[in-house]
Amino acid sequence: MSSLAMPAPEAATLARRAEIVAALRAIVPGEGTVDHETGMRPYETDGLTAYRQMPFVVVLPETVEQVAAVLRYCHENNIRVVPRGAGTSLSGGALPLADAVLLSMMRFNRILDIDFDNRTATVQPGVTNLAVTQAVAHAGFYYAPDPSSQIACSIGGNVAENSGGVHCLKYGLTTNNVLGLEVVTIEGEVLRFGGKHLDQEGYDWLAFMVGSEGLLGVVTEVTVRILRSPETARAVLIGFPDAEDAGRCVAAIIAAGIIPGGMEMMDRPAIHAAEDFVHAGYPRDVDALLIVELDGPQVEVDHLLGEVERIGRAHGATHCRVSESEEERATFWAGRKAAFPAVGRISPDYMCMDGTIPRRELPTVLKRMAELSQKHGLRVANVFHAGDGNLHPLILFDANEPGELDRAEAFGADILRLCVEVGGCLTGEHGVGVEKRDLMDAMFSEDDLKQQQRVKCAFDAGHLLNPGKVFPTLHRCAELGRMHVHHGQLPFPDIPRF
Amino acid sequence: MESTLTPRTAGEVRDAVAWAVSAREPLRVIGGGTKASVAPPIQTGHTLTLAGLSGIVAYEPEELVLTLKPGTPMAEVTAALDEANQMLAFEPPSFAPLLGSSGTATFGGTFGTNFAGPRRLTAGAVRDHMLGVEAVSGRGETFKAGGRVVKNVTGYDLARALAGSWGTLAVATLLTVKVLPRPETEATVVLDGLAAEAAVGAMAQAMGSSADVSGAAHLPADVAAIVPDAKGAATLLRLEGFGPSVASRRAMLEGLLKSHGPRLLEREASAALWPKVRDATPFVGTDGAVWRCSVAPTMGPRVAAALPTGSRVMFDWAGGLLLVETPAVGDAGAAALREAIRRAGGGHATLLRAPPAVRAAVPTFQPTATGIAALAGRLRQAFDPEGILNPGQLGR
């Protein structure tokens, strides 16, 4: 395991383990409370497997009352809690702590209400992303955000991470598709935000909750909007000898007023790895490959495919192929979707980064990334949600080679700093978690982070929920609340007053 | 002492708030002030206007990103976007005529109120398009959140969360918003003469089809005069996009709703009509009180049925948004309206316009649910511990 400073375990908690386990078992009896090593082993890591920690105890509640009772007990006894959905986080959002109750929400697996007239689905947080779509597909509807882990990842986890996916340029992130939440606070209070109506009253609690990475409350119910599935979808592969031209092509497509359902880019190493793995028919003699998918009514899709093809050719595309069948469309995507495992085949280990950049900076970033690759002595392959500028560099390394994991981490940190430097951000969709926690000061000042932590204090003044995630330094809420009042005169007296 | 502070830089905003904190003098924070009459009156002599903090700082159409200062007039924003064939997809209303206010609506006011128009149904509200914010908290400290890219989950999503907070948490000094291409063309399918229940059913049918409807409103006969050739009530379904696509979806929708005898408003008539729905034009210049309510779409007619006699209602958002005019007497229907909303499974009602006597008797904003009130108090504490910024707004 690589070095990562987590909050020091509370000795008082560790010393009371038997008593705490018994108290939790009284709330969640039977197999709902797990305290033996073999039972807890599956929870020691999440999708970011470089970090592992055995939980203190695992609790799997089934009812809102149980969740509230567990949190109330933990609050009263000053015990930390790490909430967990399906455990697919790529940023270590569900990494356990040695002294924290691991609260798994995966028994909350029921679909509660489907309302086609209001176009909403209300589900428990342990329901998988794909299961929401499956529950409404018979009526021609779907749930739009589709992170690549959608078979496994839970809606509760999607809410915590504000998950995206390849379709989010057109259809939005999780935050744009959540209408209501039921949330249990660390005090064990059950609150409801929003509902089936648009725009909640008062403060935008949904905006605070979605993407809060399990630091503000535990979600027990989610109401999402569902959409009518597009009539049809077709994809086009466009290959460019020069990545810069591919970038300009993407800009030109958007400038033409076209927002594709999906617009993905791969660089040469990623194209080759994917093509070797799934034989998707990708051209090998190009530096950048675009997959542009258009969805909607048949007439619109046909019309826009023509436009996109024309724009591609005008920007120097040497390869252009439109899918002529559903099978062919699936094949185009198969390569992109298999990009991560494909890279896994050509390297013992890889690390997936997740920065966002202004698209115009792509050529600069690719060039500087190549330089960084030289500097760190590690290869990198790039897949890119080109429409929204979300870059996923895959750093290739071998964890069994001494020092390579550290070099890969240093390379990754350099890439993310580069993203921030060109006007982007540390994470587009994977979350900060523990992975990017210590890079937060590359993007935010001390004052920025303190104001964010004051929000945390409004929800969880004791820092009991998921501590050690998102924020590099934990400030006590009392300290954050202190005001330094400067007694001064009315400022800028030269300004006109009426 | 009374004063109007017109800072011209973010630093001056910080100085002004820091002074207010030290002097314990509340500030009334406004953009252009066109919606200021919506907010309950504040007991303070000090107004902080952001009109002096104006201008587009960066606009990159190909990145779909616009960065601007909060005092930028909406007209200037629209003009800049027009030039690149883009738009604010949330279709912000111009409520100045409705509210009888003069002055210049600003982007800051749009951000602070989170008021969105007909396209909110499918494209989202102001908050859905916010990407980044720089602001001064009620502590007199500068902070930023979010950024200038369209996909960003780094830290809490404060740019979104501050939208619609009515200037009670922080004073924005720089905002970044996502923009989108403007549709090439539009058309509206009109169904004449439907009762509200039937209209909501037809709108649900249209929204559940692949016609990709971008606006769904129902105007009962007493507000339908804005619709060309209205014969009683009018139900409006807007289609936007590329020419061939609109033509094909229009045919599909007409087929789907054939039994209701659909007719069509072509591009110009459609484009002229929707701003009147958006801005509640039928209620401009009347004496009534005006409410803006959000409920689950299918509950719209039920809530409308609970309104006092003499009320008029426009249904937008497929039935979920009610723009309501009630007689401006007593509580202007507040109790009946809010009770009906509660029974309808939740939502909210905001009093947009009312004479002072009604204002004095009725909370402007939906009262905060008991469970949430304490949390809301702590949130205010987190941003504005002295209660300097717009005290009295948002039910506080």
CATH number at residue B174: 3.30.465.10
| A202/B121 Cβ within 8 A | no
Chain A residue at shortest CA distance from B381 = A458
pLDDT at B393: 83
| A486/B248 Cβ within 8 A | no
The highest-level CATH class for domain A11-104 is: alpha beta
In chain A, residues with a C-beta closer than 8 Å to the C-beta of B125 are 198-199
Nearest Cβ partner for B22 among A210, A470, A485: A485
**Contact (Cβ atoms closer than 8 angstroms) between residue A114 and residue A121:** yes
| A430/B385 Cβ within 8 A | no
Nearest Cβ partner for B4 among A197, A459, A497: A497
In chain A, residues with a C-beta closer than 8 Å to the C-beta of B151 are 164, 168-169, 173, 356, 385, 388-390, 428-429
Nearest Cβ partner for A204 among B15, B164, B180: B164
Residue A492 burial (CB < 10 Å; 0-12/13-18/19+)?
middle
| Residues whose CB falls within 8 Å of the CB of residue B251, separated by 6 or more in sequence, listed in order | none
Chain A residue at shortest CA distance from B247 = A299
The CATH number of the domain where B351 resides is what? Answer: 3.30.70
Mutation test of the interface with chain A: which of B127, B151, B381, choosing the one with the most A Cβ atoms within 10 A?
B151
Both B200 and B322 in one domain: the answer is no
What is the number of residues in chain B? 396
Alpha carbon distance A425, A357 (integer Å): 7
Q: Is the pLDDT of residue B356 over 90?
A: yes
In chain A, residues with a C-beta closer than 8 Å to the C-beta of B155 are 432, 440, 443-444, 448-449, 452, 470
**Residue A115 β-bridge partners:** A120
User: What is the sign, positive or negative, of the torsion defined by CA atoms of A408, A410, A416, A421?
Assistant: negative
Chain A residue at shortest CA distance from B2 = A498
Nearest Cβ partner for A424 among B62, B149, B298: B149
Tokens 């497509």: give the residue: A253
pLDDT at A484: 72
| A432/B155 Cβ within 8 A | yes
Residue A279 distance to chain B (closest CA, Å): 31
Both B34 and B172 in one domain: the answer is yes
Both B213 and B120 in one domain: the answer is no
Nearest Cβ partner for B154 among A230, A303, A425: A425
pLDDT at B45: 83
| Residues whose CB falls within 8 Å of the CB of residue A273, separated by 6 or more in sequence, listed in order | A339, A342, A343, A345, A346, A381
Q: pLDDT per residue over B285-328, tens digit each?
A: 999 999 999 999 999 999 999 999 999 999 999 999 999 999 99
Domains held by chain B: number: 3
Size of interface A-B (CB pairs under 8 A): 318
| DSSP characters over A163-225 | ---TTHHHH--GGGTEEEEEEE-TTS-EEEEE-SSSS-SSS-HHHHHTT-TTSS-EEEEEEEE
Nearest Cβ partner for A203 among B4, B21, B376: B376
User: What percent of chain B has a predicted confidence (pLDDT) above 90?
Assistant: 92
| A427/B143 Cβ within 8 A | no
Chain B residue at shortest CA distance from A161 = B153
In chain B, residues with a C-beta closer than 8 Å to the C-beta of A443 are 147, 154-155
User: What is the sign, positive or negative, of the torsion defined by CA atoms of B242, B244, B246, B248?
Assistant: negative
State the average pLDDT over residues B339-348: 96
What type of residue sits at position A88?
Answer: T
Residue A255 distance to chain B (closest CA, Å): 5
Domain at A347-437: CATH architecture:
2-Layer Sandwich (3.30)
Query: What are the domain boundaries of chain A?
Result: 11-104, 111-228, 232-340, 347-437
| A162/B208 Cβ within 8 A | no
Both B343 and B376 in one domain: the answer is no
Residue B101 distance to chain A (closest CA, Å): 19
**Contact (Cβ atoms closer than 8 angstroms) between residue B213 and residue B206:** yes
Strand duo B86-87 + B180-181: pairing: antiparallel
Which residues in chain A show pLDDT less than 70?
Answer: 1-3, 485-498
DSSP, res A417: H
pLDDT at A452: 97
Nearest Cβ partner for A300 among B139, B245, B295: B245
A366: left (phi over 0), alpha (psi -120 to 50) or beta: alpha
**Contact (Cβ atoms closer than 8 angstroms) between residue A243 and residue A362:** yes
| B207/A119 Cβ within 8 A | yes
Both B318 and B395 in one domain: the answer is no
CB atoms within 10 A of CB B370: 7
| B208/A444 Cβ within 8 A | no
Nearest Cβ partner for A496 among B6, B128, B366: B6
Chain B residue at shortest CA distance from A168 = B151
| Residues whose CB falls within 8 Å of the CB of residue A303, separated by 6 or more in sequence, listed in order | B242, B244, B245
In chain A, residues with a C-beta closer than 8 Å to the C-beta of B376 are 202-203
Confidence of residue B34 (pLDDT cuts 50, 70, 90): very high
Pick the last residue of a domain from B216, B249, B278. B278
pLDDT at A494: 45
Nearest Cβ partner for A426 among B63, B154, B165: B154
pLDDT at A488: 53
pLDDT at B53: 97
Both B241 and B274 in one domain: the answer is yes
Both B2 and B81 in one domain: the answer is yes
In chain A, residues with a C-beta closer than 8 Å to the C-beta of B153 are 161-162, 164, 173, 211, 427-432
- Domain A232-340 of CATH type 3.30.70.2190: yes
User: Which tokens hold the place of B322?
Assistant: 């009610």
DSSP H or E stretch at residue A453: helix A446-459
Tokens 């030109």: give the residue: A252
φ, ψ (nearest 5 deg) of residue B385: -65, -25
The highest-level CATH class for domain A111-228 is: alpha beta
| B148/A491 Cβ within 8 A | no
Tell me the three state secondary structure of residue A277: helix
| B208/A119 Cβ within 8 A | yes
pLDDT at A485: 67
**Contact (Cβ atoms closer than 8 angstroms) between residue A271 and residue A286:** yes
In chain A, residues with a C-beta closer than 8 Å to the C-beta of B379 are 203, 208, 455, 458
| Residues whose CB falls within 8 Å of the CB of residue A168, separated by 6 or more in sequence, listed in order | A144, A145, A385, A388, A429, B151
Confidence of residue B371 (pLDDT cuts 50, 70, 90): confident
Residue A466 distance to chain B (closest CA, Å): 14
Both B87 and B7 in one domain: the answer is yes
Mean of all residue pLDDT scores within chain B: 95
Chain B residue at shortest CA distance from A391 = B151
Mutation test of the interface with chain B: which of A201, A443, A452, A466, choosing the one with the most B Cβ atoms within 10 A?
A201
pLDDT at A477: 94
Alpha carbon distance A146, A319 (integer Å): 28
Nearest Cβ partner for B125 among A199, A430, A445: A199
- Domain span at residue B170 reads 1-182+366-396
Q: pLDDT per residue over B133-149, tens digit each?
A: 999 999 999 999 999 99
Nearest Cβ partner for B156 among A208, A483, A485: A208
Count Cα atoms within 13 angstroms, Cβ side, for B194.
24
Count Cα atoms within 13 angstroms, Cβ side, for B63.
25
**Contact (Cβ atoms closer than 8 angstroms) between residue B314 and residue B322:** yes
| B249/A228 Cβ within 8 A | no
Mutation test of the interface with chain A: which of B8, B44, B119, B156, choosing the one with the most A Cβ atoms within 10 A?
B156
pLDDT at A135: 98
| A356/B244 Cβ within 8 A | no
Domains A11-104 and A111-228 share a fold: no
| A230/B114 Cβ within 8 A | no
Tokens 């619709």: give the residue: B227
Alpha carbon distance A395, B126 (integer Å): 37
Alpha carbon distance B385, B24 (integer Å): 11
CA distances from A475 to A453, A462, B93 (A): 8, 10, 42
Q: Is the pLDDT of residue B395 over 70?
A: no
